Structure 1
C-alpha cells in the first residue's frame, strides 16, 4: 500500500507551512504530497492567511523537494482553460523532474464560484466540460513534438495548437479522476484516467465504486493499462485517548460538507481499519492532514501504521 499526504490549504495555511509539511513527508517516506484546489474554506474558518493557487504552490514545492510525488485532488476544470492547464502542469512536471500526478474534477463548490465570479454551469455541463478538458489536456501532452493539436467540441475549440511545452513524463503525468458518481465519473475514469480515487468513504463504498469503474472499463473498451484504485481517508490516530480526541475534533469541525467517515484510534486500530481499504481493492491511500503543523501525526503513521499495511 502506497500512502500519500493530502492537505487542504484553503482552510488556512501559509506557503512555509506547506513546504515544511512536504519536506517532512518526503523525509518520512510518504509516496506523495497532494493538495486540494480551492480558493475558499468549506468550514467556518475565515481562511486566514488566504487562498493559494494550487499549481503555483506545487511548482515551488517541486523545487524544494527531490523524490516525493506531487499533485492535486482535484484541480477544478471550471477554474482554468484546458490549454492553459496543460501548459501549467507540463511546466510543473518539468520543475519536479517528472513527479506530478494530475487530478482533474468537474468542480462542485457553487458558493466559491459565485464569490469569485467564476461561471459554475449545471452538473451536466460541468461534466461535459470535464470530458472535453481531459481530451484536450492529454491530447496536447501526447502530440509529437513538431506537430500541432486541434480540437472541436461543444465547449472548447483549439486550432493548430503548438502543443508545447512537453511534460517530462510521457505521454504525460498520470491522470487521476475521482468522485462517487454512479455513471459519469466511472465512464471518465475508464476512458481517460490512470487512477480512480474515491473521496472519504467507507471501505464498502470504495469497493462498490471500484466495481462500477471496472464495469465501465469493460463497457467502453478501455485500452490503457489497468487503473490504480485509491481512497482518501481522514485519520485521527494517537498514542493516547487525548491525542485521538484532539485530532478527531479537528476532523469533525462543522462544514458545508456532509459528514465523512473518520478512521480513529491507536496505531494498531488504524492499521486494522485501513487494511479494509486494501481488501476493497485500493493500492494507494491519501491521508488527510488537516493541521499542517501536526508533523507528529505524519511521524506516527510512518513509524507505526504504514509498515504494517498490506
Structure 2
C-alpha cells in the first residue's frame, strides 16, 4: 500500500507571510517520510464538509507548482479539479506545465464538482449534474487529444459543449503517453464508467461499500475492454496518529482493512499537519508497517 498526503486545511496558526515556508516544510518532510503523493483541493472556499468558507483556501494549481519546487519525487495532483470551473484547453495546459516543471510528476485529478454554494456565490459555472458529467467526459477527451504525439492531435474537436479548433499543446507533457488521470467519486453508473473508459486511477470514499464500488468498476472495465488490475484503486482518508503517536496502531489497522477491501493507495489528510511531528511519526511507524500490504 502507498500513502499520499492530502492538504485540505490551510488554517494554520501562522502569519500570512509564513504560509509559504510552512507549506515547503510540510512538503519536504512528507517526501522524506515516504509519502508518494501530495494533493490539494480545487476550491475557492473551504469545504462545507469541514469548517466552511471563512477559512484560507489557496488556489490549487499555483499551490501545486510551488510544491513541485520543494519536492523531487512525490506525484502532484488536485483532489480533485472541479471540472465545471475550467475550460478544457486551459486545464490541459496547466497540468502539462506542472508536469514539465516537476520533471514528469503531475497527475490530472478531476471530478464533476460538488460544491454548488461555492460556485453560485463565486459566479462560477455549475450546470445540472447530467451536463456536468457530459462536460467532464468531453474535457477528458480534449485533454487526451492534447497529450497525443509531439504537440497534440491538432484536428478540430467538436463536442456537445466544447468546440476546439486546434488542440495544440507545446511544450508537450513529459509523462507518456500522458499524465496519469485520477477520477474522484464513487458513483457506480457515471463516475466509475468514466474511470473504466479514461482513467488510470479511481478515488473512492472510505466505507464498507468499497468492495461493491470496485465490483461495479470491474464490470465497467469488462464492458470497456480495460484491464481492471491496471487501474489504481485509491481512497480518501484521515491519518490521525493522535498525540505523540498514541493512535498509530488504530491507523495501521484501518489501513489494513482498506487494503483487504481492495484499496492500493490512500490519500489522507493529517490533522495539525503544520506541527510536522505527525508526518514524522507516520513515516517512522505507519509507512513501513503497511508497505507490504
Give 1:222's aligned residue: 226
Q: Cα distance 1:147–1:191, how it changes in 2: closer, same or farther (>3 A)?
A: closer
Q: Aligned partners of 2:136 and 2:26: how far apart in 1? A: 31
Match of 1:37 among 24, 27, 42: 42
Give 1:106's aligned residue: 112
Q: Does 1:280 align with 2:285?
A: no
Q: Does 1:90 align with 2:71?
A: no
Give 1:254's aligned residue: none
Q: Does 1:72 align with 2:53?
A: no
1:230 counterpart SS class: strand
Native 8 Å contact 2:142 2:167 kept in 1: no
What 5-or-longer segments of structure 2 have no aligned partner? none
Match of 2:124 among 94, 115, 118: 118
1:289 positional shift: 2.3
1:87 counterpart SS class: helix
Q: Deviations over 1:70-128 (max 9, x none)?
A: 11110010111000100111011011000112101111100110111012110111111
Give 1:129's aligned residue: 135
Give 1:138's aligned residue: 144
Q: Cα distance 1:223–1:198, how it changes in 2: closer, same or farther (>3 A)?
A: closer
Give 2:173's aligned residue: 167
Larger proportion of strand: 1
Q: Aligned partners of 2:152 and 2:84: how far apart in 1? A: 29
Give 2:8's aligned residue: 8
The alignment's TM-score, normalised by the length of structure 2, stands at: 0.90
Q: Does 1:236 align with 2:217?
A: no
1:26 positional shift: 0.9
Q: How does 1:190-269 map to 2 (within 5 A)?
A: 190-199=196-205, 201-202=206-207, 204-222=208-226, 226-238=230-242, 266-269=247-250
Q: Deviations over 1:171-225 (max 9, x none)?
A: 21110012111200111000000001113x22x3222211111111111222697
1:58 positional shift: 0.8
Q: Deviations over 1:113-157 (max 9, x none)?
A: 011101211011111110110111111112443751421111001
| Equivalent residue pairs, number | 284
Give 2:289's aligned residue: 308
Q: Aligned partners of 1:74 and 1:163: how far apart in 2? A: 22
Give 1:182's aligned residue: 188
Q: Cα distance 1:11–1:177, how it changes in 2: closer, same or farther (>3 A)?
A: farther
1:176 counterpart SS class: strand
More moved, 186-195 vs 61-70: 61-70
2:103 counterpart SS class: coil
Native 8 Å contact 1:17 1:292 kept in 2: no
Q: Cα distance 1:10–1:216, how it changes in 2: closer, same or farther (>3 A)?
A: farther
Q: Aligned partners of 2:152 and 2:190: how far apart in 1? A: 34
Native 8 Å contact 2:133 2:190 kept in 1: yes
Native 8 Å contact 1:6 1:288 kept in 2: yes
Q: How does 1:24-63 map to 2 (within 5 A)?
A: 24-41=29-46, 42=48, 43-45=50-52, 47-48=54-55, 50-63=56-69
